[in-house]
Amino acid sequence: MTSYDLALIGFGGVNRTLAELIHTRGDALEAELGFGLRIVAITDLRLGSLVQPEGIDLAVALGLTGDGASFAQHGGSAVPDNEAVIKTCSADIVVEATFTNPDDGEPAVSHVRWALEAGKHVCTTNKGPVALRGRELSELAQRQGVYFEFEGSVMSGTPVIRLAKQMFSGLRLGGFEGITNGTSNYVLGRMEAGLGLQEAVREAQDLGYAEANPSADIEGFDVQLKVLILANELLNAGLELRDITRQGISSVTVQDVRQASLDGKRWKLVGSARRNADGSVTAGVAPVALPLDHGLAGVSGATNAVAFTTDLLGQVTISGPGAGRVETAYALLSDIIAMHAGMTQASSAKEVANA
């Protein structure tokens, strides 16, 4: 049976959860999916690097918690060397889930590039490399004959990119509008319940929904990157980040929220793109007071939704979880499943051609 060796770059919540799934459900997944998964390398800012071509003992790796824990205690290094691990380890697939600077996509852009140049497939949950260097990295993957998958970069475990690409064949997409940031959505919901913006943000932070610095969510930077990904991947827009106008929710007041409620509306941070008559695409992020009967008005909490405008079906909405360790880890697994399906299809086609 086919088996794929993985290198996990970053061992925080998402990649750790993927390792837990492989550790606890590996045999069941192999029986169900038709291929096995083995982790042969892990790098982590806190734990260091561990490379074991015969397969890492995941019980040991997952048990490394608390101060002083290090891969150096188990034959690895206390200091991570992502470049060396990515370029030289025996992994077939590099799973990239590190922190990324939204300004330049680093260090994830380099992680992805090193892997593709080394002839390794890549899946990532990082928005930065896809939004800022997506075309460049996809072209590199194509030249190298490997896969570059990034389903989790927009709506976590909800496969909006893959569903749209596979299920909208034959349709013309006129654009989309969506709610793709659970933190801002939660804050607006709490403001509707009477809290001020800062109070709602603090509550979101206390619950773990918002970062210590919530500006990426509150000021719309997160949605801006996601809109760029969707516009380029699904509308072939060829846009850059500077082309996406951005306004966050910090300008929305409690009075605005109250007035919207009286008017039968609800504030949402909406990311959208539309194809113009000349074929160009206009895209942006802004808070909008939506009528209660609007398809996105009822989307709450961490749930995300994107409504696509199509020529033959009208509006089609994809909705599902937009955050969570398990959900995002599943997105990585779904990327690997897609890679396997593509490789299997290519192999079958080659056998037919050679018959």
Active site residues: 226
- In the beta sheet, which residues pair with residue 41? 7, 51
What CA–CA distances, in Å, run from 109 to 98, 138, 185, 330? 10, 12, 29, 22
Cα–Cα distance, 275 to 311 (Å, whole number): 12
d(CA 295, CA 26): 39
- Crossing angle for the helix pair 197-206 and 182-192, to the nearest 10 degrees: 130
Sheet with 148-149: strands ordered across? 48-51, 35-44, 2-9, 93-96, 121-124, 148-149
State the amino acid at position 226 in one-letter form: K
d(CA 147, CA 340): 10
In contact, 123 and 96? CB cutoff 8 Å: yes
Look at residues 292, 304, 283 and name the one whose alpha carbon lies nearest to residue 233. Answer: 283
In the block, tokens 């045999």 appear at 27
306/273 Cα distance (integer angstroms)? 11
Residue of 113, 92, 19 lying closest to 58 (CA atoms): 19
335 within 8 A of 125, measured Cβ to Cβ: no
- Rounded CA-CA distance 139/179 in Å is 29
Helices 160-167 and 221-234 cross at an angle (nearest 10°) of: 20
